[in-house]
Amino acid sequence: MKKIARSLDDSFIYDLKYGILKNLLRRVHKDSTIDLQMRNNSIDIYYRGGVILHLEQKVGYYNASINQKYFGKENVVKFKEKIINENDIQEWIELVSKIKEARDFHYSTKNTVERDFMQLTVRTNNYEKEIVKNNIIITDVEYDFIGKIDLLALILTRTQKKLDTEFAFIEGKYATSSSTGKSGLVKHLSDIQEFISNHSDEFTLLKDDTKKIFKQKMELNLYNFDIKHIERELTIEDAKPKFIILLADYKISDSNLKDLIESINEDDYPKLDIRFSISSLMGYRLYKNCLFTKLETLEYIKNFSNGKI
């Protein structure tokens, strides 16, 4: 197995809070359209589902880069790659609007709406002013040690004296994207089922690292709520992890949607609690009580199609 950890070391956290990267963190705080994700010895900053800055920790400096695949043929303005002091990262900060524009132009020619949808989901669920029971908090994006999982999350189950949570994998599928084949739901389910069944120690490490990421993001004010009085008592319940499926922009009367749901045999994945996220109102918010089983989802679709909802 590859290394599980994605949380940052103390020196990286210090540089983000007080050191040469503090203005970068402030820029993230001021702009809700960008999102900072942890990558063990590096961070990725996302905009519209694409990475507009990859910052990797080296000995005595940070290396800044972008991945051109998120921009296609669009020209991306150059910025200093070797970050030694505050002035070096300031160059990227001052150019970020032009970098975002290049991402916008590529987005308009090659619509990556599924990636944008996932970032909007992260933003909506992580920037609540008040944390409440049954909120779902996204801790990681594009987790790539078990195939590539769209999102990892913690479902908050109690907020008195300590914070109990449930662990969740989240996979999003857009109506225009592939839900079958190598990138489909069955492949993701099989990969995670095998991981939990045969790599229990690594799964424990993953859950521990997820708790650490949650606390580090709280420390960096990357969640827009305050639970500092209980964050040290964060627990993950010893239960089946949830595999939450987000199906976006499918026509509810479309036979493809029903076929997709029925293609998943829950008996093949005894280590997972498979759920479908149903939204009762417009938006990207995820709630525990809106996570339906396969049978409940099929019944919901049937009732909706028959005009009973």
Angstrom CA distances, 251 to 77, 257, 262, 280, 292, stand at 40, 7, 16, 15, 18
Predicted confidence at residue 107, as pLDDT, reads 76
Predicted confidence at residue 222, as pLDDT, reads 93
Predicted confidence at residue 13, as pLDDT, reads 98
Q: Which residues of the chain have pLDDT under 70?
A: 1-2, 108-112, 128-133, 159-161, 176-183, 226-232, 253-255, 279-281, 307-309
Predicted confidence at residue 280, as pLDDT, reads 57
Predicted confidence at residue 281, as pLDDT, reads 66
The answer to whether the CB of 45 falls within 8 A of the CB of 79 is no
Nearest alpha carbon to residue 185 among 147, 143, 154, 155: 147
204-249 residue pLDDT tens: 999 999 999 999 999 999 987 766 655 567 889 989 999 999 988 7
Predicted confidence at residue 182, as pLDDT, reads 42
The answer to whether the CB of 137 falls within 8 A of the CB of 156 is yes
- Quote the pTM value: 0.91
Q: Helix, strand, or coil here: 179?
A: coil
Predicted confidence at residue 147, as pLDDT, reads 86
Q: Helix, strand, or coil here: 34?
A: strand
